[in-house]
Amino acid sequence: MSTFAIPTVAKREIAAPGRPPIDRFWALLVLLPVAALMLVNLLPLLWGVLTSIKPEAAIFATPPQFAGFTPTNAHYERVFAAGFVQSFAISLAYSGAAVVLALTLALPAAYAFDRFDFQFRQSLFLLIVASIPLSLGAAALLIPNYVYFVRLGLVNTPFALPLIYAAHQLPMAIWVVKGTI
Amino acid sequence: MRSSLNSYGYIAPAFALLGLVLFAPVFYGGWFSLQRIQYGAPTGFAGFDNYAKLFDDPELLATLGRTFVHTGASVIVTIGIALALSVWINRLAPRFAFVVQMIVIVPWIISTVVAALLFRWVFLNDIGLAAWALKAVGVTEFQPLTTSSGAMALLVAISVWKRIGYAVIILLAGLKGIPDDYTEAARIDGANGWQIFRRITLPLLKTPLLLVAIVLTLSNINTVETPLVTTGGGPGDATRVLAIEVYERAFVNFDLGGATALALLMFAGNIALVIAYVRFTKWKA
């Protein structure tokens, strides 16, 4: 490899001072809108946090107040009093059930798709791949799903949500697991 | 590779769940949309009545147009900004790039409803930050949610804001897949930054760009939450897009037959996009 040492040195020489001045102009041109985007990305979040600790009067004050109000935890107290912990526990249980179900089904399926040869393997896997974008929050499936679950009597049961969550994650899970085993 | 009938036992549970939640509803919905629906229950075969009623609705074409405007504008703006951002991030020092990525991805990972609410809160007419900031620079009349073009612009802005992180991550992965040698060689040959981007980066980024465009189109067409939370379809019908139309037909007007028929037409459009997606994905079984 030592014979190639010379081009390497040459490359470094080109790279270091070789950055033309136009690059700095470009960087600035890109940097400004990006800075604006950072502001736009984080501002609603920070504004939400700020609003959550403001007393009622400060929330509706004009001009908007950034400081100078007495922070309050009244809103948080109300949220906790209204059963936040319980709702969160239910959300957690549902997502937990969905993850466990999706992985339990995805692991053997991904294994079979990767290691075994069987008839229709290609077409079945194509169906999985095609389901990935399909399950990406499809409003088109919302109503058919609803009428079907009404028919099955699954609406308003604790099974409905974990089943839907798991099914929507399953194609992606199979795809990812198959890629890594 | 082992050939075995047992393989079907491995994949059957997964397909059972997909069949129950993803596939069967489509077929059931197809049958359901051909029925006369009274009080949410099918009462007899009606042929294509539900579909015919859809096409009699003079408003539907306008709804389709608004969906087209919302999705088209959102996808184009998202990809434009995401492309610039990802090229920029790709050139940053690794630690700084990590921080910037974190900031960019924030709106994508928080819940759609929360994100839309926060955004709406900032841009709300009287007490929002935006109106106040604009007043400071001399714009007194800023009430985007009360004019039709303003509400649509705001909806597009939220859609872009929400999904840009996803686009950046995918494009960034595509950029990282381009070997440094190519740009280096071009630079040695005397190409400037723009030429390298136009002749090397962009062509090599074609597949990720197409995939992002398809996924963004799908998710913009199919989003109910964003317009529902921010504008509710208003003012008037200004932001009443297809997803809202389906949702309101079903759960506000209780026209389940029409809603199912419209949803299935939408689904057919989704299928076309999915086929395009599959064609561009490098998948192998």
- What is the rounded CA–CA span in Å between residue B280 and residue B213? 11
> Do you find a cis peptide bond into B13, omega within 30 degrees of 0?
no
Q: How far is B99 from chain A (nearest CA, A)?
A: 11
Tokens of B220: 């913009």
What pLDDT is attached to residue A30?
63
Of the pLDDT bands very low, low, confident and very high (cuts 50, 70, 90), residue A3 is very low
DSSP codes joined into one string, A73-124: -HHHHHHHHTTHHHHHHHHHHHHHHHHHHHHHHHHHHHHHHHHEE-TTHHHH
The model's pLDDT over A98-144, given as tens digits with 9 standing for 90+, comes to 999 999 999 999 999 988 888 888 889 988 888 887 776 567 788 88
Residue of B nearest to A57 (CA): B127
Secondary structure (3-state) at A53: coil
Between these two residues, A26 and B169, which has the higher pLDDT value? Answer: B169
Q: Tell me the backbone φ, ψ of residue A168, rounded to 5 degrees.
A: -75, -25
**Pick from A130, A137, A144: CB nearest B28:** A144
List the one residue out of A163, A154, A158, A159 whose CA is nearest residue A99.
Answer: A163
Q: Is the pLDDT of residue B40 over 80?
A: no
Between these two residues, A33 and B160, which has the higher pLDDT value? Answer: B160
Q: How far is A25 from chain B (nearest CA, A)?
A: 11
The model's pLDDT over A40-51, given as tens digits with 9 standing for 90+, comes to 788 888 888 888
Between A4-18, A159-173, B215-229, B243-257, the lowest mean confidence (pLDDT) is in A4-18
Instruction: Please check whether residue B191 touches A, CB under 8 A.
Output: no
Asked whether the beta carbons of A58 and A69 are under 8 A apart, the reply is yes
> Are B285 and A140 inside 8 Å of each other by CB?
no
> Are A37 and B263 inside 8 Å of each other by CB?
no
What is the rounded average pLDDT of the residues B203-212? 90
Secondary structure (3-state) at B66: helix
Residue of A nearest to B211 (CA): A133
Mutate which of A51, A52, A104, A147 to test chain B, going by most B C-beta atoms within 10 A?
A147
List the one residue out of A51, A109, A73, A127 whose CA is nearest residue B26.
Answer: A127
Q: How far is B243 from chain A (nearest CA, A)?
A: 6
What pLDDT is attached to residue A98?
94
Mutate which of A13, A38, A65, A134 to test chain B, going by most B C-beta atoms within 10 A?
A134
> Are A118 and B7 inside 8 Å of each other by CB?
yes
Q: How far is B152 from chain A (nearest CA, A)?
A: 18
Q: Is the pLDDT of residue A71 over 50?
A: yes
